[in-house]
A and B are shown apart, each in its own frame.
Chain A
Amino acid sequence: MSVKEIFESMEYGPAPETAAEALAWLVDQGDRFGHFINGSFTAPGEGFLSKNPATGETLAMLTQATQADVDTAVEAARKAQPKWEKLGGHGRARHMYALTRLMQKHARLFAVLETLDNGKPIRESRDIDVPLAQRHFYYHAGMAQLMQAEMPDRRALGVCGQIIPWNFPLLMLAWKVAPALAMGNTVVLKPAEYTSLTALLFADICRQAGLPKGVVNIVTGDGAVGEMIVAHEGIDKIAFTGSTEVGRKIRQATAGSGKALTLELGGKSPYIVFDDADLDSAVEGLVDAIWFNQGQVCCAGSRLLVQEGVAERFHAKLRARMDGLRIGDPLDKCIDVGAIVDPVQVQTIRDMVDGNTEGETYCVNAQLPAGGCYYPPTLITGLTPTSRLMQEEIFGPVLVSTTFRTPTEAVDVANNTRYGLAATVWTENVNLALDIAPKLVAGVVWVNATNLFDAAAGFGGMRESGFGREGGWEGLNAYTRPKGKTKPLTKIEGFTGEGSEAEGIDRTPKLYIGGKQARPDGGYSQPVFSRAGALLGQVPIAGRKDVRNAVEAARGAGGWAKSTAHLRAQILYYIAENLSARAAEFAARIDGLTGGRSGAKEVEASISRLFTYAAWADKFDGQVKSVPIRGVAMAMREPVGVIGAICPDEAPLLGLVSVMAPAIAMGNRMVLAASEAFPLAATDFYQVLDTSDVPGGVVNILTGPHADLAKVLAQHLDVDAVWSFSSSELSGLIEAASAGNLKRSWVNNGQARDWMGTEGEGRAFLEAATEVKTIWVPYGE
């Protein structure tokens, strides 16, 4: 077109970013890649093609890792780990700083290669993915430096197996590798088979930066390689980002292995627009929410909830905005929506949208480039929470929409999902925003903004969006463990005997559910004997329905989470006071049950423990993060919800108190399975609870075989977390069964804990009892 014609038409025209340097880099590598193991690339082997989804052209030949490759990589990481950890924080910080600087120097190469490989617009890889990846390394270089001083009781986990997705190939690598290296771990990382190239460039950078051999190992291949990593005995921790379906399988596969696990999974994140919002800005926000990276974003604001009164206007504005989106060659600097990662993904999106028969579908009427994987931005209005597309993740540029009437209803609709990754709220009313944000079940909430990320701010999900946080101080727990050695826990059996009922009036221990004593649904009890074989009492055997009732009671006691920390502290002190009043009786009970003489000491420790968590109730503070925006990112500590806990067998009272007190101090509700061997201290203890103003349902106590109770609790889809300190071998069972709703699990892996000592209380319990929610509030007038 001539200048004169353009002067009239005022079209944008092409603005291509050159791919020459990136393609030249591929040629320099021979267009074929092996794995990066122990500091160098292996010879390329049998494998698969990596293609540019925008054109279908082949970019390189990659190697499918074999079991032997994975073994070699794990061995290299294992060998390198002790030295890397011993290098110390400052030594690691220097290496990580060098890595960051080299990433900066090759920023454009990373960006162009990412766009070629993934199909995302060059603007995004250039302005978002690559800078955020650098920032993550930069931030964590600082964490390495500070580790010794700030985390003196923590050490590296060892070798981390990391499996990352194709939507943010380099950024997800950074999120995984940076904290792992900072804390002294070594890694075996598998990039997604569609998008391995920037990981291989990163490997090249590691080599150039002189990173010690074996600290970073990268193996390529499909899900089979991922399975090898997950199953590998030489790996201490698995970190996975990807689909909920695969996350569930990994949870099952690692159950009972003792491997640490963090999962960052899918989402169907609500995007809530109130009628007082700046509607134009909220529309623009949606461009960044659902059309960012073609909607292939786990935290994409894919579920639009608009207040009824403005819904029509908002949708009209949105459709007009959609018409302005430019779809096409991702290497063009003037493109908003690039290519979908692979034809398979395009088909998945198409099948889901075509399968929908409800609502009204508006599809951008754009000429899609031929030969590539494209899908037009789409809006489907008039859906309800019942619609399949309102519940299932599409992972494409498709927005679904419904309406609400009131703030309460907005929260209800928003939380009507299995997921809980992110949420967005638009309102000009600060009262409304700050009221809504804590009520949304989501690991991240953005107020009047969307898809803001930073290394200092934790990111991660609730419910089936996974567990663990990436970024910030809270992210480091996932890559460290306490210092010190553990001892195996041996099974503790109750005593047997043939004694008859003791004299006096019969006291019948019952289950404690919803603040009331309840007979077991099954109608069975079992005798409890002293060491000498005397019958101490009969405890009920709780069954499935008793667990169900207890969970229901706990769920119903949600008001506890909203009560003030001051009130919770007062009640914990009150429990301690009432326990103290009956100290002698409890001491005798414990001695009778265990046949020991430390009952009095255990009661004193229990009282002290209650004081500890009464003290903590209003002191386990959140943080305000230093994120690079004008605004605040608040890391709020929220209760996990309903926690099922299998109490320690060995300390019948102290064990129960140690588990219960931190949880309720943080606002959780508990279903406790009492010591299986010595249950009668727990059944006495509910009388203490009864007299201490603990609201009904906040603490529920069951007795019976741990294995049975653990299974039902771990499978229960309305339980948010399960803890086990049982002396029965339940860790594998619990972790596997918890995969159903991906509840958080905290198990002892058959290792003992000294309940009388320092490891019997403290931050580890508080952290397990809370989830960090990051609330971003940009401001400015």
Chain B
Amino acid sequence: MQTDTQNIKTHLPLVTELRNPGMALDLDWVRAAQANTSAIERRAATLPGRRSVKKEYQAAWLLKAITCIDLTTLAGDDTVGRVQRLCAKARQPVRHDILEALGVDGITTGAVCVYHEMVAPAVAALEGTGIPVAAVSTGFPAGLSPFHLRVAEIGESVNAGAHEIDIVISRRHVLTGNWQALYDEMRAFRAACGEAHVKAILATGELGSLRNVARASLVCMMAGADFIKTSTGKESVNATLPVSLVMIRAIREYHERTGVRIGYKPAGGISKAKDALVYLSLIKEELGNRWLQPDLFRFGASSLLGDIERQLEHHVTGAYSASYRHSMG
């Protein structure tokens, strides 16, 4: 199922793709999944030395990275004003003179990601932009509130206008190998989302092994996740290249077997433009160009944008930039 990437006008996941219908839990497949940690770490460690983008290519890739950012605020002190400021930044993430110099326009971030209470203000602030609002949900970040409340929380956020729901899985199901329970939970979350797209946060830093990451990824995709996402940003270890490699290889395998493309979102710990370029090259290498679009790839990040802006200004002027020269979000 080849889609013309040039015609994707909206950031909403999977509108140009068949949405993942899910499939019956295939335990043979899940249990056969392997992930050799040292080999995966070697691949991840050598990738930055194998791929490199320079000059205008680097600028274009950094712009692409911006369009894939879920600009995020998940703080206890978030207010309407704070969220409005963030949304303004999402609408215009790069200073207009820099964009002009680069000869591009219409650059926005991929989405804005907030807690439930901030969904409505975000939707209002982004009206008419086509930028979707994502809500973290299901008792984020630990996911240990009563199950019926977690399901209900999804419905509340969808009603408030969220287009995307970032759910957290019950890590205990992975740690105890209860794949059926994980599958059922994910199925229920997916059903509660309705038309809204669902990103499954695995909290990989708490899953114990890369093999568990691989197996949890498969189970969530089988249960209908539209995206799989590394972490909440609240675990002690968040997105890493080895974890990403495991998850996107699971995505590739799922696509090979079902024909369905699942999106990928690394979140937490990605704060440098250089890191973003490595992630994009990892996606390009392992999944191909089709995944280098915001409907299939997102960065969950809050400070990444600032570094990218400075690099873009450097590209345009040849002089290293300062953060105060770029608007805050």
Checking A14, A15, A278, A334 against B36 with a beta-carbon cut-off of 8 angstroms, the contacting residue is: A278
Q: Contact at A13–B38, with CB atoms within 8 Å?
A: no
CA A210 to CA B44, docked complex, whole Å: 41
Q: What 1/0 mask marks residues of chain A from 3 to 32 whose CB sits below 8 Å from any chain B CB?
A: 111111111111100000000000000000
Nearest opposing residue in chain A for B252, CB measure: A280
Q: Contact at B6–A334, with CB atoms within 8 Å?
A: no
Minimum CB–CB distance from B291 to chain A (whole Å) comes to 10
In the complex, A420 has a CB within 8 A of chain B: no
Interface pick from A37-45, A212-220, A344-352, A773-781 = A773-781
In the bound complex, residues from chain B placing their C-beta under 8 Å from that of A10 are: 60-61, 64, 280, 284, 289, 292
In the bound complex, residues from chain B placing their C-beta under 8 Å from that of A15 are: 52-54
Q: Contact at A334–B50, with CB atoms within 8 Å?
A: yes
Minimum CB–CB distance from B295 to chain A (whole Å) comes to 14
Minimum CB–CB distance from A573 to chain B (whole Å) comes to 43
CA A284 to CA B55, docked complex, whole Å: 29
Q: Describe A's contact surface by its main secondary structure.
A: loop
Q: Contact at A333–B38, with CB atoms within 8 Å?
A: no
Minimum CB–CB distance from A669 to chain B (whole Å) comes to 38
In the complex, B85 has a CB within 8 A of chain A: no
- On whether A780 and B37 interact (CB within 8 A), knowing A15-B52, A15-B54, A449-B42, the answer reads yes
- On whether A8 and B6 interact (CB within 8 A), knowing A281-B36, A780-B41, the answer reads yes
In the complex, B43 has a CB within 8 A of chain A: yes
Q: Contact at A779–B38, with CB atoms within 8 Å?
A: yes
Nearest opposing residue in chain B for A629, CB measure: B38
Nearest opposing residue in chain A for B41, CB measure: A780
In the complex, A149 has a CB within 8 A of chain B: no
Q: Contact at B40–A281, with CB atoms within 8 Å?
A: yes
In the bound complex, residues from chain A placing their C-beta under 8 Å from that of B275 are: none
Q: Contact at B56–A2, with CB atoms within 8 Å?
A: yes
In the complex, A165 has a CB within 8 A of chain B: no
Q: Contact at B103–A4, with CB atoms within 8 Å?
A: yes
In this complex, which of B5, B46, B211 has the most chain A Cβ atoms within 10 angstroms of its Cβ? B46
- On whether A277 and B38 interact (CB within 8 A), knowing A3-B59, A3-B103, A13-B55, the answer reads no
Checking B39, B53, B54, B59 against A285 with a beta-carbon cut-off of 8 angstroms, the contacting residue is: B39
In the complex, A324 has a CB within 8 A of chain B: yes
In the complex, B81 has a CB within 8 A of chain A: no
In the bound complex, residues from chain B placing their C-beta under 8 Å from that of A279 are: 34
Q: Contact at B64–A7, with CB atoms within 8 Å?
A: yes
Q: Contact at B39–A278, with CB atoms within 8 Å?
A: yes
CA A103 to CA B281, docked complex, whole Å: 32
Checking A7, A334, A778 against B60 with a beta-carbon cut-off of 8 angstroms, the contacting residue is: A7
Minimum CB–CB distance from B75 to chain A (whole Å) comes to 32
Minimum CB–CB distance from B279 to chain A (whole Å) comes to 13
Q: State the interface size on chain B (CB cutoff 8 A).
A: 40
Minimum CB–CB distance from B287 to chain A (whole Å) comes to 10
Q: What 1/0 mask marks residues of chain A from 439 to 466 whose CB sits below 8 Å from any chain B CB?
A: 0000000001100000000000000000
In the complex, B168 has a CB within 8 A of chain A: no
Tell me which residues from 1 to 59 in chain B have a Cβ below 8 Å from any Cβ of chain A: 5-6, 34-43, 46, 49-57, 59
Q: Contact at A11–B57, with CB atoms within 8 Å?
A: yes
Minimum CB–CB distance from A364 to chain B (whole Å) comes to 15
In this complex, which of B42, B54, B211 has the most chain A Cβ atoms within 10 angstroms of its Cβ? B42
Nearest opposing residue in chain A for B35, CB measure: A278
Minimum CB–CB distance from B316 to chain A (whole Å) comes to 10
Minimum CB–CB distance from B277 to chain A (whole Å) comes to 10
Q: Contact at A7–B284, with CB atoms within 8 Å?
A: no
In the complex, B80 has a CB within 8 A of chain A: no
Q: Contact at A123–B49, with CB atoms within 8 Å?
A: yes
In the complex, B301 has a CB within 8 A of chain A: no
- On whether A778 and B56 interact (CB within 8 A), knowing A10-B61, A123-B49, A278-B34, the answer reads no
Q: Contact at B53–A4, with CB atoms within 8 Å?
A: no
Nearest opposing residue in chain A for B42, CB measure: A449
In the complex, A759 has a CB within 8 A of chain B: no
In the bound complex, residues from chain A placing their C-beta under 8 Å from that of B249 are: 280
Nearest opposing residue in chain B for A310, CB measure: B32
CA A629 to CA B46, docked complex, whole Å: 14
In the bound complex, residues from chain B placing their C-beta under 8 Å from that of A13 are: 53-57
- On whether A781 and B57 interact (CB within 8 A), knowing A3-B104, A7-B64, A10-B284, the answer reads no
- On whether A6 and B34 interact (CB within 8 A), knowing A127-B46, A284-B43, the answer reads no
Q: Contact at B35–A7, with CB atoms within 8 Å?
A: no
Q: Contact at A324–B209, with CB atoms within 8 Å?
A: no
CA A124 to CA B251, docked complex, whole Å: 30
- On whether A778 and B34 interact (CB within 8 A), knowing A3-B103, A14-B54, the answer reads no
Q: Contact at A277–B34, with CB atoms within 8 Å?
A: yes
Q: Contact at A276–B64, with CB atoms within 8 Å?
A: no
In the complex, A370 has a CB within 8 A of chain B: no
CA A279 to CA B56, docked complex, whole Å: 36
Q: What 1/0 mask marks residues of chain B from 277 to 317 whose CB sits below 8 Å from any chain A CB?
A: 00011001100010010000000000000000000000000
CA A357 to CA B64, docked complex, whole Å: 47
In the complex, B125 has a CB within 8 A of chain A: no
Minimum CB–CB distance from A325 to chain B (whole Å) comes to 10
Tell me which residues from 354 to 369 in chain A have a Cβ below 8 Å from any Cβ of chain B: none
Q: What 1/0 mask marks residues of chain B from 259 to 286 whose CB sits below 8 Å from any chain A CB?
A: 0000000000000000000001100110
Q: Contact at A4–B39, with CB atoms within 8 Å?
A: no
Minimum CB–CB distance from B56 to chain A (whole Å) comes to 5
CA A426 to CA B104, docked complex, whole Å: 48
In the complex, B131 has a CB within 8 A of chain A: no
In the bound complex, residues from chain A placing their C-beta under 8 Å from that of B38 are: 448-449, 629-631, 778-780
Minimum CB–CB distance from B53 to chain A (whole Å) comes to 6
- On whether A448 and B292 interact (CB within 8 A), knowing A3-B63, A276-B34, the answer reads no
Given contacts A12-B57, A428-B34, 5 further A-B contacts (CB under 8 A): A6-B57, A13-B56, A14-B54, A123-B50, A778-B42
11 chain-A/chain-B pairs, Cβ below 8 angstroms: A1-B56, A7-B60, A9-B289, A127-B49, A284-B43, A334-B51, A336-B50, A428-B36, A449-B38, A629-B38, A780-B41
Give the interface of A toward B (CB within 8 A).
1-15, 123, 126-127, 276-282, 284-285, 324, 333-334, 336, 426, 428, 448-449, 629-631, 778-781
Give the interface of B toward A (CB within 8 A).
5-6, 34-43, 46, 49-57, 59-61, 63-64, 102-104, 209-211, 249, 280-281, 284-285, 289, 292
The 4 A-B pairs at the shortest CB distance, nearest first, are namely A13-B57, A6-B60, A281-B39, A778-B38
